[in-house]
Each structure stands twice: as structure tokens, then as C-alpha cells.
Amino acid sequence: MSKVRAYTNIALIKYWGKSDSLWNLPTTGSIGLTLDQLYTETSVKINDDLKQDYFMLNGQKTQNLKVMKVMNFLRNLTGDRRFVEIFSENHVPTAAGLASSASGFAALAMAASQAFGLSLDRKELSTIARLGSGSASRSVFGGFSIWHAGHDHDSSFAESILDPLNFDIRVIDILADESTKKISSSQGMQLAQSAPNYAAWCSNSQKQIDDMLTAIANSDLEKIGLIAEKNALAMHELNRTAIQAFDYFTQNTRDIIAATKKLYNSGTLAFATIDAGPNVKVITNSENQSTVIETLKNYGEILVQKAGPGVTNV
């Protein structure tokens, strides 16, 4: 039984809406950067005696519908109806709850397909990871990757843009306390799709993908950061203008964004991005890292990440 490791990724152009929730097809393409600190290790073994899948997450028996969805897909694909034991551990080097579905489903896609004797290429693995969690499609790859929206299971895949990187990038997590009521990403995106500007956000996102690809090709960290920040802030504005409006931001989130903008305006490369929660990640480089940390360390625990690798056997 082989063990597989996958790392989390941060979206620079966000996935925020589905055109098909059964197959997890997104309304837009997205771009992510796989990081090097937070990962999931998973092993999967077929067990002839089981009457259903057995899933242990961090030492606890867990029921997870998305895991079942991935396993059922693989059983249908192979015609092998047997059930599996899944052992999965999230490796999170800090106290904060940073466990990620992206690393989890990228690892599961590879470990489970290997358990069924399949040797799939990364593109195929990304489609299977996507069934569990859209953002997981990008964690199959190291460095920068793009997930193409597509229109069906096979056309909605991720691929590598650049790995390894030929320039220096750091992503600084400022881990504040997650005291606000949680709205899952699936719930959040469903609500956001009712925002009056949703269609505009989607078409703008396509343009931002093109600009981001150019910025990555030019190793232009400032452009990468500016586009990512704009895309993320507009995503959160959708939430605040949805018919059932909601907001992941806390006062701390707003303070960190303001402090990051102040840093940029005074000549430090620092750009904020925020996913489906209150925590801010700041995009910077090694040269500017200490200034960023010095300014933001009072807002929460700091975790510095670099570009990380794609999914692999360990």
C-alpha cells in the first residue's frame, strides 16, 4: 500500500461558483500556487471484507460524502465494486485550523486510483480530485497551475503553468482566530452567484487569467500580486451583495488588508488574498518578507510558505 502526499494551494484567481454541483464544474477557470508547508498524507487499500468504505481522518473514523463520491467514481470507472480503507492525516504545523480539502482530495485521487491499479496521468488525476473539491484539481500540480472550467468531466481539468518557479515568491499566512460562523465554500459560492455583479465578475475573471498568465511568464511579482488582490477582493464583494448577503471578513481581516495596502503604498511588495474564511494571506518575496512580518505579526500567528511540489508517492 503506497502513501501519497499532496500540499495545499492558494488561488490567485479564485474559483467561486459552480455551473454543475454534481460534477463540480466551475463557472470560471482559476489559477493556484501550490505551497510547501501544509500537506495531507493518505493511503488507500482495498479490503475484500468491507461492506462500505472505511475512512480514518487524523485518527478518527469519519463519514464524508465527498470521499464517497470520489470512491464511487473510481468503482464505476474500473468496474471493481470492492470497498477500501482510507487513512488520511493532515499535517498542519500550527495550532490554527488550516486543514484543507485541496490537499486532501489531491492525495485521495492519487492514492485511491493507485489502489484500484490505475496509473493515471496528472490531468486525469486532477479531474478525479476535482470531484471531491474543486480547488484540489490544482494541488495535483506543483508551483503555478491552472484549472480550466471546461463543460464536462473530462474537459474540466488542471494543468501546470510553471513548476519549478524561476523567481522568488513567498506567501505569508496571518492566522487569526476563526470565531465567526462558518459558511462552507460550496454554500458561500452558491449564495454569491445571486449577486448582481456575478456575471461581470466571471467575465472579468477570464481577462484576469490572461493577465496573470502573462505576469507569471514575465516573473512579474508585482502584477501577480495586484491581479490576485483585485480578484479576491471582488470575490468577497460578491458575498456582501448576494441576495442572502454574508461576509467572511472580520475586523481583523479588514485591518490586515489595510495594513497590507499601506505597505504596498510605501514601497513594499505585499498583496492580500483571502479564501472562504477570515484569514489573510500576503503575497510577497524573500526580500520584502521581513518587513511584511514585522508589520503584520501583531494581527495573528505567522506562517511563511514558498512554492511547493505536486502530489507524489512518499
Site of interaction with ligand PMV (CB under 6 A):
11, 14-16, 30, 101, 133-135, 185-186, 275-276
Least distance (Å) between residue 273 CB and ligand PMV:
9
Least distance (Å) between residue 264 CB and ligand PMV:
22
- Residue 131: other Cβ atoms inside 10 A: 24
DSSP single-letter state for residue 298: G
Measured from the CB atom, the residue of 71 and 276 that comes closer to ligand PMV is 276
Least distance (Å) between residue 277 CB and ligand PMV:
8
Measured from the CB atom, the residue of 11 and 311 that comes closer to ligand PMV is 11
Element counts in the chain: helices (H) and strands (E): 9, 14
Return the closest-CA partner of residue 283 out of 241, 234, 222: 222
Contact indicator for 16, 198 with CB cutoff of 8 Å: no
* CA 105, 111, 117, 119 torsion-angle sign: positive
Least distance (Å) between residue 12 CB and ligand PMV:
9
Residue type, 298: N
Measured from the CB atom, the residue of 133 and 253 that comes closer to ligand PMV is 133
Question: Which segments of 116-250 does DSSP mark as H helices, in order?
Answer: 122-132, 136-139, 185-192, 198-217, 221-241
Contact indicator for 53, 65 with CB cutoff of 8 Å: no
- Residue 121: other Cβ atoms inside 10 A: 9
Least distance (Å) between residue 132 CB and ligand PMV:
8
Measured from the CB atom, the residue of 133 and 289 that comes closer to ligand PMV is 133
Tell me the pairing of strands 312-313 and 3-13.
antiparallel
Measured from the CB atom, the residue of 238 and 263 that comes closer to ligand PMV is 238
